[in-house]
């Protein structure tokens, strides 16, 4: 076990992502879950999640994103929402929405759910089924979105973008407007875990990305006051990295289905770091004092060129997980930065293969 270390002054976290399960009816080839998925028997039980949420509320958390896998596969989700609501914590359900019923959604709303986010793998039925490998998925998602609006819950449409659906970006805008969504998240896939494995098949070409950027910037302005469009940019084609997580362990953390507490969803890919589980240590101690959380806080850990760069307070040196995946050194400058010596390697894609898709407990190949 690693000893606690003194680090920079640490404020309270604001947000938490609770990955309640890795089980999921969809099999997307860019899933943000780890490549080694946890089976149901490794999941925290209801009481352990309730204890964790109480600790998170004591720590100052203001909002919790309930995610997975598919979080609605947890039969105790209503209880978990009610616990957070009783502590005044804002809850956001992140769902693929293909197994939802109106009764279940009503139970979530009664328990105090504040917001729902429904992912669409395509803007039309054919693409949604092709990417998520689930029959009638598009129609089921549309129905769930309609129920969410009927119940008076704010709705976000989440659109993960990659080579197979980048041409549908205008149709995603039309879909979000038709469904009465408050917000559309056009989220270019980030290449970690499953998406990194499948990057040759998923990474769109440069021209398609530039057309998308122009369209989103123009449409965002046109729809001001009608639809909020969040845009997660494709950093493989950018000159500078994104400020991943707003900085390592700055104001948010996540918890995996078995209770491992992480500074970001891909942190376990950094094999040089050790992480604690809830139950082993109080959440406050993990947040404030654990070696892994303090490792990349602040600016002192930065090597050159980040250390003396004028952008270090804008992007915090980029993404530690991306740096580790591409260079083997989590402290390296994110290779998406033009100042990184590894920047040119971003274009070295492996040969394109059939997309490997996630199935809990095993991997499978698919075209």
Q: Of 149 and 343, which has the nearer Cβ to ligand SF4?
A: 343
Stretch 216-255 residues interacting with ligand FES (CB under 6 A): 244-245, 248
Q: How far is the CB of 290 from ligand FES (least distance, A)?
A: 16
Report the greatest alpha carbon distance in the chain: 56
Q: How far is the CB of 208 from ligand SF4 (least distance, A)?
A: 25
Judged by CB under 6 A, which of 266, 278, 283, 337 binds ligand FES? 266
- Residue 145 binds: one of ligand FES, ligand SF4, none (C-beta under 5 to 8 A by kind): none
Q: Give the Å distances, CA to CA, from 247 to 126, 175, 243.
A: 38, 33, 6
Judged by CB under 6 A, which of 321, 326, 332, 346 binds ligand FES? 321
- Residue 264 binds: one of ligand FES, ligand SF4, none (C-beta under 5 to 8 A by kind): ligand FES
Q: In 120-182, where do the E strands start and end?
A: 155-161
Cβ neighbours, 10 Å, residue 272: 11
**Is 337 annotated to bind ligand?**
no
**Site residue total, ligand FES (CB under 6 A):** 10
Q: How far is the CB of 346 from ligand SF4 (least distance, A)?
A: 13
Cα of 102 vs its chain's centroid, Å? 26
Do 14 and 249 form a contact (C-beta atoms < 8 A)? no
Q: Give the Å distances, CA to CA, from 250 to 61, 247, 359.
A: 13, 5, 32
CA distance 313 to 257: 32
Residues engaged in binding ligand SF4 (CB under 6 A): 240-241, 305-306, 309, 311-312, 315, 317-318, 333-334, 337, 339
Structure tokens at 205: 């070409």
Question: Under 8 Å CB-to-CB from 222, ≥6 apart: which residues?
Answer: none
**Is 28 annotated to bind ligand?**
yes
Q: Per the annotation, where are the binding residues for [4Fe-4S] cluster? A: 24, 28, 31
- Which residues lie near ligand FES (CB under 6 A)? 192, 244-245, 248, 264, 266-267, 319-321
């Amino acid at each position: 076990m690693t000893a606690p270390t003194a680090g920079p002054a640490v404020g309270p976290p604001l947000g938490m992502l609770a990955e309640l399960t890795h089980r999921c009816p969809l099999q997307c080839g860019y899933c943000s879950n780890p490549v080694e998925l946890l089976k149901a028997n490794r999941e925290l039980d209801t009481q352990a999640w309730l204890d964790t949420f109480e600790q998170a509320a004591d720590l100052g958390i203001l909002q919790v994103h309930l995610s997975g896998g598919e979080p609605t596969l947890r039969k105790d989700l209503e209880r978990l929402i009610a616990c957070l609501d009783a502590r005044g914590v804002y809850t956001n359900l992140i769902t693929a929405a293909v197994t939802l019923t109106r009764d279940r959604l009503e139970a979530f709303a009664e328990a105090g759910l504040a917001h729902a986010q429904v992912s669409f793998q395509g803007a039309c039925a054919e693409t949604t089924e092709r990417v998520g490998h689930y029959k009638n998925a598009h129609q089921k998602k549309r129905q769930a979105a309609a129920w969410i609006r009927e119940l008076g819950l704010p709705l976000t449409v989440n659109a993960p973008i990659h080579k197979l659906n980048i041409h549908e970006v205008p149709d995603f805008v039309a879909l979000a407007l038709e469904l009465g969504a408050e917000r559309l998240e056009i989220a270019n896939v980030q290449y970690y875990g499953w998406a990194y494995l499948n990057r040759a098949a998923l990474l769109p070409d440069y021209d398609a990305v530039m057309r998308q950027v122009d369209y989103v910037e123009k449409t965002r302005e046109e729809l001001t006051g009608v639809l909020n469009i969040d845009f997660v940019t494709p950093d493989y084609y950018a000159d500078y990295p994104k400020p991943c997580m707003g900085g390592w362990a700055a104001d948010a953390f996540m918890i995996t289905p078995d209770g491992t507490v992480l500074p970001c969803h891909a942190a376990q890919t950094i094999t040089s770091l050790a992480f604690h589980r809830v139950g082993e240590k109080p959440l406050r101690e993990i947040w404030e004092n654990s070696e892994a959380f303090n490792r990349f806080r602040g600016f002192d850990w930065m090597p050159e060129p980040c250390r003396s760069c004028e952008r270090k307070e804008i992007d915090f040196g980029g993404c530690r997980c991306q740096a580790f995946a591409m260079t083997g050194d989590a402290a390296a400058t994110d290779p998406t930065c033009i100042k990184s010596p590894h920047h040119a390697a971003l274009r070295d894609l492996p040969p394109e293969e059939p997309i490997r898709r996630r199935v809990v407990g095993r991997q499978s190949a698919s075209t």
